Structure 1
Amino acid sequence: MTKKNYEDIASKILLLIGGKENISYCTHCVTRLRITTKDKSLIKVDEINKLSGVVGNQWSGEQFQIIIGNEVEDVYKAICKLADIKEEASIDENLDANVKNEKGIKGIFSTLLEILSSVLAPIIPAIVACGLLQGLLYSAQSLGWIDPANETYTFFFTCSQVAFYFLPILVGYSAGKRFKCNPILAATTAGILMSPSFSALAGTQIKLFGVIPVMYAGYASTVIPAILTVYFQSHVERLCKRFVPKMIDIIVTPLVTVMISAIVGWTILAPIGGWLGTFVAEGILWLYTSLGPIGGAICGAVYPFMLMTGMQVAMSPITVQNLATLGYDFIYPCTAASNAAMAVCALYIFWKSKDENTKSMGLSTGITGLIGVTEPVFFGLIAKYKKALIATVVGGAAGGLVMGAFTVQYLSFGFVPFGTIVLAMTETFPYYMIGVCIAMVVAFVMMYLLKWKD
C-alpha cells in the first residue's frame, strides 16, 4: 500500500467505527489495530471486514481489534493523523484491555498472561539475537566450517550464552517497568538472585542475623523468581516513597528497597519461583517424554485456538524456561507444524478460489504464514472457513505427532516454520522437516477430501 492507500483505509475505518469522537483509546500491536470505543453499537463490523487491506476483526473484551497485517503501523499512524489523536507505542501487554473487565478465575488467568506477556516480550529480541547466533554456530559446526575448539568459535559461543545466563537481570529490568518501580533497582535485585558467588554456594544454608534461614541456589537463567521478587520490590519502593522525606529519598529508598527485597526474595519468593518454574518445565517435559507423540499432536492441534484467543502467550514462559534449562525448546516445532498447515490451507484456497480478493488473500497470507506470521492467515481465512480450520487442526496434529515422537529441538524464539529455519538445524533437523512436510501434505489432502470451495 502507498501513503495514499493508508490514509484511504484509515478514513474508512474511522467512519465505520463511529468517527473519531467515538474513540476513547487506540493503539496497535504487530498485526492489529486495537480500539476501545465509547459506544460499541456504532461500529459496523461487517462493513469493516469487507474493506480492502483488512484481513479480519474480532472483539477481545471491550477492545475492538482490526487485523491489518504487517502494514498495521502505517495505517495506525494515518488514523492518528486524521483523528488528531496522540500516537501510542505499539503494545506488549496483549491482554491489558481485557483483564480490567474480567473477574474470577478467568480474570486472574488473564492477568497472569498479561503480566508474563508484558514482561517477556521486551526481552525477546535479546533471546532471538543470542539464539540465532547459537543456530549459526551450530550450523557452521555441523557443516564442518569451523572447529568447536577454535578460539573464534569459543568467543562467539560465549556471546550467545549471555542473554540466557543473565536472563534474570533482563527479566528484572522489564518487570520493573511493568510494575512501575525503578527498573535499574529491579535489575540490581534480580542480579543479586543470580550472582555467581551465591550460585557457587548452591545447596548451602546460612542464617542471616543468626535467625533467618537462607538456602543458596542457582537462579541464573530463571524467570519466575525475578518476576515475583520485583513485584514485591515495587510495593516496598512505593511504601518507602510514601513515608521517606524527599530530602533523603534518593539515599534511603534504594537502600531499603534493595535490601528488603533481597532478603524476602532469597528466603521466600525465589524458592517458590524456582519450584514453580521447575514444576512447569518438568510437567511439559513429562508430557513429551511420557506421551511424546500424543503430546506433540495435542499441541499442534490446539495451537490455532490458542492463537484465536491470544492464549499463545502462555507458552512464552515455558519456551524461555526450556531455552534456559535445556538449551532448546520443543514447543516451537509443534507450532511450526500448525503454522505450516495453515499456510498450505491458504495456498490451497488461492489455487481453488474463483474470487479475486480471496485468491489474493490466499497467496499473500499463505506466503507470510510459511515465514511465520500467521494471524493474517488465521483471521483472514482459516477462522472463516470451517473446512480450512478442520484441515489445519488435522494437519497440525499430524505434524505435531512427529515433533513429539522425536522431541524435535528449536534453539530460540523465531518465526516458524521457515522464517528462522536456521534455529531448527540441530541433530533433530531431519525430523523437523519431516514433521513440517507431513503437516503440509495432510492439510492439503484434507482440503481436497473436504471439497473446499468458495
Structure 2
Amino acid sequence: MTNSELSNKILELVGGKDNIVTAANCMTRLRLTLKDVSAAQKDEIKKAEGVLGLVQDGNTLQIVVGPGKAKKLMDIFREELGVASVAADWQENKAAMKAGQKQNGLKKALRTIAEIFIPLIPAIIAAGLFNGLASLLGQMMTDKVIAADGFWSLIKTMFSLIGGGFLGYFAIYTGINAAKKFGATEALGGMVGAMSIMAQIVDISKFFGLYNETVPLESVLTTGKGGIMGVIVGVWILAKIERWVRKRVPDVLDLIVTPLVSLFLTAAIFVLAIMPAAGFISDWLVKALSVIINSGNPVVSVISGYVLSAVFLPMVLLGLHHGLIPIYAIQLEKLGGVSLFPVLAMAGAGQVGAAIAIYLKAKKVGNARMRKVIAGALPAGLLGVGEPLIYGVTLPMGKPFVTAGLGAGFGGAYVMFTHVMSIAWGPSGLVAIPLMSNTVGMLNFFIGLVIAYVAGFIITYVGIKDADVANV
C-alpha cells in the first residue's frame, strides 16, 4: 500500500475530514484528535497495511506508522487531502478537546513539561553528539593516537563550539519554549532563562547574605541555582503577570510598560524565591537519586539498574516518563552527566531481543504478517525508536511486552554497575553510543545493549509458545 493509499484509508477509517479536530505527527506517529472518537473504526485501523499500532488517549488517536513515514503521511493529509491543523469551528474544537481531557493533574503537569522539552530534543541530541565527539578526540589526543595540535585540535574546538552553543544556553531555549506553552511573550521568556545564568546573580546573593564564599555551589542563591525547572516556573509566573499587566495598561503604552513591569516583578520573584526554592528541590532530588543511582554498593547498583530498566516501558504507557526529562536535565547541570538515561535506554534493547525471538517463531509457524511488521520495525528499534516494536508487536501480544522488560533489566543492571554516564539524552539504541561521556562508557553502554538484546531474546523465546505467535 502506497503512502497516498494509506493516508486515504486512515482518513476514511477515522470518520472523514470533518471528524478531525487537529492533525499532527511526531517521529513515528500520526496524532489525530477527533470530535467523535467512537466514529473511528479502531480495529480496522490496526489491521491496515502499514499501521504498526494504535494508541488512544482520550479523543486523540495516535497511529504508529514508523519513523519517516509519519511525516510523509501528514504531508499528504495537509497537501493532498485538505486536512488543516484545525478543521472545525473553534467552539466545536474546544468542546471536543474538553471531552477528551481525562488526565489527572500530575499527568497534565508532566505532559506540559514534556511539550516544552520535546522541540529541543534534536538540538539536545546534536549538542550531545558533538560534545561526545569532542571528548573522544580529546581522549585520543591524551593517548597520543592523534596529534594534540593542528588540524585535529581545530576540529575538536569546532565540535566543542557547536555543542556548547546549545548546552551553554539551555536555560534560554527552555525559557523561550516555556513562554510558547504558557502564552507569555517568547523573547521575555528567553530573558528569564538568561537571568538564571548571569553573573549578577552572585552579586545579588552576596547583598542578601545568601552566598557561600567557601563552597559557592552550596549557596542558597548562585548562578544557575534552580536550573531549568526554576526557569519553567519563572516563565509560568511571567505569563500570569504579563496578562495581568496588559489588561490594565492603555494600548498606546502596552509595548513599553507591559514588558518593563512584567519583567521587573517576575525577576524579583524569580531570583529571590523561585531560584532558591527550585535549587533546594533539585539538590535534594540529586542526593536522593544518588542513593540508588550512584551507589557505591554494587548490590544496590545491580538491583536498582535492573528494576529501573524493567519498569521503564510500563511508565511510558502511563505517561509518567515525561517526568524523567527534568531529572535528566538536573543531573546534567549538577553532575555534568546523566546516569539515569543510559540505564533506562536498555528498555528498548529488551524489546529488540524480544522481537527477534517472535520473528523466529513467526517464521516457524508461518505468520507472514508478523514477520513483515517486525522486519519493518526492527531497524528503528536498533536505532533507538522503540514505538513501532512496542505498539506493533510486543504490547498487542501482551506476554512479550513483559518478557522484554525482564530481559532489559539485565542490561540496565550492567550499565548501572559500571556507572555509565551520558552527556545528553535522545534515542536509546545504537545511535546513543556517542552520547556516553567517555570511551569506557561507550563500550560499557554497547555491552549493556548486547546483554539486553540477548536476555530479551532468551526470556521471550522460552516464555511464549508457538501458538501465541500463530494466533496473532
Of residues 425, 429, 432, the one that matches 2:445 is: 432
Q: Which moved more, 1:304-313 or 1:409-418?
A: 304-313
Find the counterpart in structure 1 of residue 229 from structure 2. 224
Q: CA deviation at 1:316?
A: 1.1
Long gaps (5+) in structure 1: 89-96, 208-213
Match of 1:238 among 230, 243, 267: 243
- Of the three residues 377, 391, 410, the one matched with 2:403 is 391
What whole-Å deviation, never above 9, does each CA across 1:152-205 have from its counterpart, x for those lacking one?
A: 345643553343332221111111111111111121122222212324775652
Instruction: Pick the aligned partner of 2:182 from 174, 179, 184.
Output: 179
User: CA offset at residue 349 of structure 1?
Assistant: 2.1
CA–CA distance in structure 1, aligned partners of residues 373 and 220 of structure 2: 57
Matched, 1:346 2:367: no
**Structure 2 residue corresponding to 1:258, chosen from 255, 263, 268:** 263
CA pair 345-151 structure 1, distance change in 2 beyond 3 A: closer
Please tell me whether the aligned partners of residues 400 and 464 of structure 2 are also in contact (alpha carbons under 8 angstroms).
Answer: no
Match of 1:137 in 2: 134
**Is 1:168–1:220's contact at 8 Å kept on the other side of the alignment?**
no
Cα 1:75/1:125, change in 2 over 3 Å: closer
Matched, 1:289 2:287: no
Q: Please give the residue correspondences for 1:29-428 in structure 2 after superposition, counting only pairs within 5 Å.
A: 29-70=26-67, 71-81=69-79, 83-87=81-85, 107-143=104-140, 144-145=145-146, 147=148, 152=154, 153=156, 156-157=159-160, 159-199=162-202, 205=208, 216-219=221-224, 222-290=227-295, 291-353=300-362, 354-424=366-436, 426=438, 427-428=440-441
Task: Tell me, in whole angstroms, the C-alpha distance in 2 between the residues paired with 1:111 and 1:199.
Answer: 35
Structure 2: distance between partners of 1:184 and 1:15: 42
- Give, in whole Å, the separation in 2 of the partners of 1:372 and 1:433: 13
Kept in 2, the 8 Å contact 1:228–1:270? The answer is no
Give, in angstroms, the shift of residue 101 of structure 1.
Answer: 5.2
- Find out whether 1:11 has 2:8 as its counterpart: yes
Contact 1:168 1:221 in 2 (8 A): no
1:18 is displaced (CA, Å) by 2.1
SS at match of 1:428: helix
1:255 is matched by which residue type in structure 2? L
Q: How far is 1:383 from its partner?
A: 0.1
Given that 1:337 and 1:395 are in contact with CA atoms closer than 8 Å, whether structure 2 keeps it comes out as no
Q: 1:283 to 1:78 in 2, by over 3 A?
A: same
CA-to-aligned-CA distance 1:227-269 (integer Å, 9 cap, x gap) = 1111111111111111111111111111111111111111111
Measure, in 2, the Cα distance between the counterparts of 1:148 and 1:318. Answer: 37
Give the drift of 1:115.
1.7
1:140: how far off? Answer: 1.7
In 2, are the aligned partners of 1:323 and 1:411 still within 8 Å (CA)? yes
Give CA-to-partner distance per residue, 1:82-124, whole Å, 9 cap, x none: 5522147xxxxxxxx9898556xx6211121122112112223
CA shift in 2, pair 1:99/1:306, >3 Å: farther
Distance 1:203 1:445 in 2: 60
Identify the range of structure 1 (341-350 vs 152-161) with the bigger mean alpha-carbon deviation: 152-161
TM normalised by structure 2 equals 0.85
TM-score, normalized by length of structure 1?
0.88
> CA, structure 1 residues 310+243, in 2 after alignment: closer, same or farther (shift >3 Å)?
same
Going from structure 1 to structure 2, the CA distance change for 1:422 and 1:398 (only over 3 Å counts) comes to: same
Match of 1:91 in 2: none
Question: Is contact 2:354–2:461 with CA below 8 Å preserved after alignment?
Answer: no
SS of the residue corresponding to residue 419 of structure 2 reads coil
Contact 1:99 1:107 in 2 (8 A): no
Query: SS at 2:54's partner residue?
Result: strand
Q: Does 1:446 align with 2:446?
A: no
Of 140-149 and 294-303, the range deviating more from structure 2: 140-149
Write the letter of the residue equivalent to 2:104: G
CA distance in 1, matches of 2:381, 2:260: 50
User: Aligned-residue CA RMSD in angstroms?
Assistant: 2.6
* Aligned-partner SS, 2:336: coil
Letter in 1 for 2:325: S
Letter of the structure 2 residue corresponding to residue 223 of structure 1: I
Cα separation, 2, equivalents of 1:284 and 1:292: 12
How far the C-alpha of 1:43 sits from its partner, in A, is: 1.6
- In structure 2, how many angstroms separate the alpha carbons of the residues matched to 1:277 and 1:98? 34
Classify 1:269/1:332 alpha carbon distance in 2 versus 1 (closer, same or farther; 3 Å): same
CA distance, structure 2, for counterparts of residue 394 and residue 164 of structure 1: 35
Alpha carbons of 1:240 and 1:425: their partners in 2 closer, same or farther (altered >3 Å)? closer
Amino acid at match of 2:357: Y
Structure 2 CA distance, aligned partners of 1:34 and 1:186? Answer: 28
Which residue identity does 1:283 align to in structure 2? A
Structure 2 residues without counterparts, runs of 5 or longer: 87-95, 211-218
**Which residue number in structure 2 is paired with residue 94 of structure 1?**
none
Give the Cα–Cα distance (whole angstroms) in 2 for the partners of residues 278 and 76 of structure 1: 43
Quote the Cα distance in structure 1 between the aligned partners of 2:176 and 2:339. 27
Contact 1:348/1:444 (CA < 8 Å) preserved in 2?
yes
- Label 1:114 to 1:185 Cα distance change in 2 as closer, same or farther (>3 A): same
SS of residue matched to 2:431: coil
Deviation track 1:3-34 (CA, whole Å, cap 9, x = no partner) reads xx122111211222222232233222222122
Whether the aligned pair in 1 keeps the contact of 2:175 and 2:235 (CA below 8 Å) is yes
Structure 1 residues 298, 99: CA separation in 2 closer, same or farther (over 3 Å shift)? farther
